[in-house]
Amino acid sequence: MAPFVAVVYAFAVVMLGTTLPTPLYAIYAGELDFGVTTTTVIFGVYAAGVIFALICFGRWSDVIGRRPLLLAGAILSAISAVIFLTAGPVWQLLVGRIVSGLSAGIYTGAATAAVIELAPPSWQQRAPAIATAANIGGLGLGPLIAGVLAEWGPAPLRTPFILDIALVALAFVGVWVLTESVDRRPGARLSVQRLSIPAPVRGVFARAAIAAFAGFAVMGTFTGVAPSFISHIIGNDSHAVAGLVVGLLFGTSALTQILTRRMPTESALIIGCGVLVVGVGVIIAGLVAASLAILIVGGIICGVGQGMSFAKGLAAVVAASPGDRRAEVTSTYFVVAYVALSIPIIGEGIAASHWGLRTAGVAFNIAVAALAAIALILTVIAARRADEG
C-alpha cells in the first residue's frame, strides 16, 4: 500500500506545481509591467513542454522503468519551482513554464501506469480513477494553495514555491525507495512516440478529439484569463478568490470523472458535450454581466462537462484502437488536448490587446461552444447509426 500512496502523492504534487503560478500572474504583471497577451503566452508555453515530453519520453518508462522517469519528472518539477522562486525577467517565467510542462508530460504517462500497477488487489478497479483524481485534483489544488498563500502569507511570489519545493522533495524520497514495477527487457531501445490514427479509429477519434479540444480550450482560457478578468473587469483583487475560481473548475472535473467512471461511454460523451456547451454559455453570460457568481457557476458546469467528455472520449478512443497501436493513438489524443490548452489561450491574449479582455473572452468562448456542439452532433449521429446497425 505504501508504494501506491507514494506514487499517488508524487503525481498530485507534480501536477500541483504546474498550476501554482496561475493566481500569481497578476502580481508578476504588475511587477514586471506586462499585459494580458504576455500572461497568456507564459501560460500557453507550458503545453509545448508537455507535448515535447509526451512525444520524446512517452514510451521510455516501458523500456527503462517507471521509477527513473518519475524521479526525472520530480527533479524537473523542483527546477521549475526554483526558476519561479528566483524569477526576474519575463524570459525566466517562460523557461519555468516549459520545464514545468516537461515534468507534467513525463508524469502523464509514467505516473498513470505506475498508479495502476502498484495498486493493491482490492484497489485495482479504482486505480484508473485514482490516477485521474491525482492528476486533475493536483491541477486544482495548485491555484487554490497559491492564491491563499499570496493573499494571506508573506512574500506572495516566494512562499508558494518554497512550499512546492518541500512537497516535491518529499515526493522524490517516496519515489526513490520504490521497487520498480516494470521488468526491463534486454536489448530494448529508447524511441520517440509515433503519433498516428489508424483508419478504423478515425471516426471515433474525430468526435472524441473535438470534444477534448473544446474541454481543454475551456480549461486553458479559463485558467489563463479568469484571474485577469476577475481583477480588471470585476474589480476583485483577491488572489485567493482567483485561485478558488480556477481550482473549482479542475476539482469539479476530477470529481466528475470519478463519479461517472461506470457510465456508458457514448451516453457520457453526449451528456458531457451538452453540459460543456451549457457551461460555456454561462461563462459567456458571466463575462458580459461582469458577474463573479455567474463566472463561478459557469466554471463548475464546464468542469462537469469537461470531466465527462474528456474521460469518456479517451475511453472510446482506447476501446476502438488496435492493441499494438493503442499507445500512439492515446498519445495523439493527449497532444490534441494540450494543443487546445495553448493555442486558443495565446490567441485570446492577442485578441484581448486589440478588442479588450471582455470581447476577446466572449468571442473565444463562442468558438469553444461551437466545437463542443459539433462534437455533440457527431456523437449523437454515430450513436444513432450504431443503434440502427
Cα gap 215→276, rounded to integer Å:
7
DSSP H helical ranges for the chain: 2-19, 25-32, 36-57, 60-64, 66-85, 90-118, 127-152, 159-176, 202-229, 239-259, 265-289, 292-320, 326-355, 357-388
Say if residues 221 and 280 touch (Cβ distance below 8 Å).
no
Residues in the chain predicted with pLDDT less than 50, given as ranges, are none
Give the distance, in angstroms, between the CA of residue 134 and the centroid of all CA atoms in the same chain: 11
Any alpha helices (H) in 119-201, and if so which ranges?
127-152, 159-176
Round to whole Å and give the CA distance between 292 and 246: 12
From CA 320, how far away is CA 326, in angstroms rounded?
9
Q: Supply the pLDDT for residue 183.
A: 64
The residue type at 247: G
Contact between 302 and 193 (Cβ < 8 Å):
no
Q: What is the structure's pLDDT at 367?
A: 86
| Residues 230/147, Cβ–Cβ less than 8 Å | no
Comparing C-alpha atoms, which of 150, 129, 128, 133 is closest to residue 251?
A: 133
| Cell numbers that stand for 310 in this block | 474528456
Q: What is the pLDDT of residue 85?
A: 92
pLDDT score recorded for residue 311: 81
3-state secondary structure of 127: helix
Contact 36, 349 (CB under 8 A): yes
Global pTM reads 0.85
- Per-residue pLDDT, 168: 97
The string of pLDDT tens digits covering residues 239-259 is 899 899 889 998 899 889 888
- In this prediction, residue 323 carries a pLDDT of 61
